[in-house]
Structures are given as C-alpha cells and as structure tokens.
Amino acid sequence: MPNSIQVTELLQRGIAAAKAGRAQEARQALLRATELDERNEQAWLWLSGVVESFEERRMCLENVLAINPDNGYAQSGLRWLDQQAPPAPATEERCPRCEVSIPQHQVQGWGETLRRMCGLMLIPALAALVNAGMIPWKISPVAWSALVVASAGAYLWVCATDVPRNPAMRDMFGPEGVKGVKRQVLVGIPGVLLWATAFGAILMKR
C-alpha cells in the first residue's frame, strides 16, 4: 500500500511548483508520487503538463484515461496532442527474409512485449534448469511443453498490462489496444492461469 500522506505531500508540492513555473521541481515531485501510487489520477494529469516531450505527455494522459476513462482534461489533452504533435519520423525496418518494410510502431511494440515477457519467463526457465541439474539438454519434454505454455501465458499477461503499440492487440481491439478493465480481464486472466499452471507443472516434475 502506498504511503498516502507522503503521496499527498508530493502531489501538493508538485502542483505548487507547476503553478509557480518550476517545471523541474514539479516533475521530480510528481514522478515520485506516481512511483509510490501508480494509479494516482491527479499526479499523472499534472505530470503531463510539466514533462518535456510530446511522447511523455501522451503517456501521462493515457495513464490518466486508463485510471479514469471519463477524465475530460485527459481526453482534451490527447486531442490537442493529435493536432499539435510533429509527425513521426519516416523510419522503417525491413523483414530480413522478404524485405517487406515493417512500420516502426510495430518494431517498438514487439520489442517491448518481448522484453517484458523475458522477465516473466525467467522464473519458470530457472525452475526447469534446476530440475535438470542446470544442464539445458536434460530438460524433460514435459518441462519444455510447460515452458511453451508459460510463454503463451506470459504473452497474454504482458498484453493485459497495456504494452504500448502492441501490434496484435491493436489489430484485435483497435488502435487503443487492451484498454479498460474488461479487456484487461479478458486477456490477462487466461494468461495468468496459463503461466501459473505451467509453472506448477515444472515445479512438480522432479
């Protein structure tokens, strides 16, 4: 549980600094408030006004809407950003096999998804290695199958945390991806269950 008194003090300090034009001081206080309470709607909203880039401002406003989809200030702010933000650089990567260009948002989205999946897969992979006496080629077929299931669960679990620009989730749910509690439950609960079941199977395989 976050220290509500400390969060309140940081929020008040950040708001006061923002109103006084002390952007750096405001950023420091508000960032600390969001670290202590990542679902603090007001902290994210005020932070959006003192960050330095369009991308950071968008992220803050999107966090506000993830907490409260009806926040009119965040909605207006995102509309303004859509009108004012400079166009994204025309960078692209190409598939090494077919040479078809890959949009940059997809490159970033898959990269972030895989990075977060690696964090979740570290525990079951280590458990499988320990069971195999730390010899990778002695990992049993059952453990390998469980790791595949755990990977699928980790993917869904990560997607439920609203990974920015995740291409598959954007294709499935639209440009907003996995936004809102219903979508997060729909995607995340099966992922957590798959991951936990697979991890349990690895632990029981002695």
Top pLDDT among 183 and 78 is at: 78
Task: Answer for the pair 184, 162: CB distance below 8 angstroms, yes or no.
Answer: yes
Cα–Cα dist 93/174, whole Å: 23
Q: What is the pLDDT of residues 137-174, one digit of tens each?
A: 888 888 888 889 988 888 888 777 755 556 677 667 66
Residue 93 pLDDT > 50, yes or no?
no
Domains of the chain: 4-84 (1.25.40.10), 98-204 (no CATH)
Cα–Cα dist 31/49, whole Å: 12
Residue 102 pLDDT grade (very low, low, confident, very high; cuts 50, 70, 90): very low
Specify the pLDDT at position 191: 83
Q: How far is CA 169 from the centre of its chain?
A: 13
Top pLDDT among 102 and 114 is at: 114
Specify the pLDDT at position 96: 45
Cβ burial of 168 (10 Å; 0-12, 13-18, 19+) is middle
Q: How far is CA 179 from CA 65, 120, 161, 170, 193, in A?
A: 9, 21, 9, 10, 20
Residue 131 pLDDT grade (very low, low, confident, very high; cuts 50, 70, 90): confident
